Amino acid sequence: MVPWVLGNVISGSPILFEPFVESARYAAEYRNYYWQHIRETKQDTGIESPGGVSPYPTKSDQILDKPNSDGGGNFGRLARTGMMDAYMEKLDDVQLCGIKTVYWRQFLKAFQESSTDAEARAALERLKQRVQKATNIPSPKAQSALAIVAELERLLDST
C-alpha cells in the first residue's frame, strides 16, 4: 500500500509516503483469520474461498474471498485487523504544512455527507486550535498551516 497526499493538503502535487509492505498471501490469510476468530460479532463469520485459483488469473476468473456476512463492507480493510497499527502510528507523526497527519485525518473525517455546518465549523475550530498550540514560534510552515485553515474557513463560510 502506498499512501499519498496533496502537497498543500487540499491542493498541490502528490507526495508519496513510505509504503506499507507485506506479503499479499500473509495479509489475505491474516485478514481471514481476523474475520473468523478475532473480531467480535454475532454475524456469520464464514468466508467463501474460490477453488482452483492459480497465478496470473484472467480478468474473468473469480479469485476473491467473499465473507458470508459483511454489511459494513469492511472485509478487505487491513487497517481494521491491527496489522498496520505500527505503520499508522509512524504516519500519524508526519507533518503536512506544519500539522500532524493525525489531525488532518480527524479534521477531514468530520466532513462527510452527513455532517452539518455546525459540525464542520467545530472541526475546523479544533484544527485551528491545534495548529495555534503546536506553532507557538512563527515559522513559514506555521504560517502556511494557518493560511490553509483560513482558506478552509473562507470556503466553509461561502457555502
Residue spans of alpha helices (H) in the chain: 24-33, 85-92, 101-109, 117-134, 140-157
pTM of the complete model beyond 0.85: no
Residue 37 DSSP label: I
Task: Give per-residue pLDDT as tens, 10-67.
Answer: 788 999 999 999 999 999 999 999 999 999 999 999 999 999 888 899 999 999 999 9
Domains in the chain: boundaries: 24-83, 95-157
pLDDT of res. 66: 94
Residues in contact with 15: Cβ distance below 8 Å, sequence separation at least 6, in sequence order? 4, 5, 6, 7
Task: Give per-residue pLDDT as tens, 114-151.
Answer: 677 788 788 778 877 777 776 565 667 667 777 777 77
φ, ψ for residue 100 (rounded to 5)? -60, 145
Distance of alpha carbon 125 from alpha carbon 158, whole angstroms = 16
Task: Give per-residue pLDDT as tens, 95-109.
Answer: 887 788 888 887 777
CA atoms within 13 A on the CB side of 84: 19
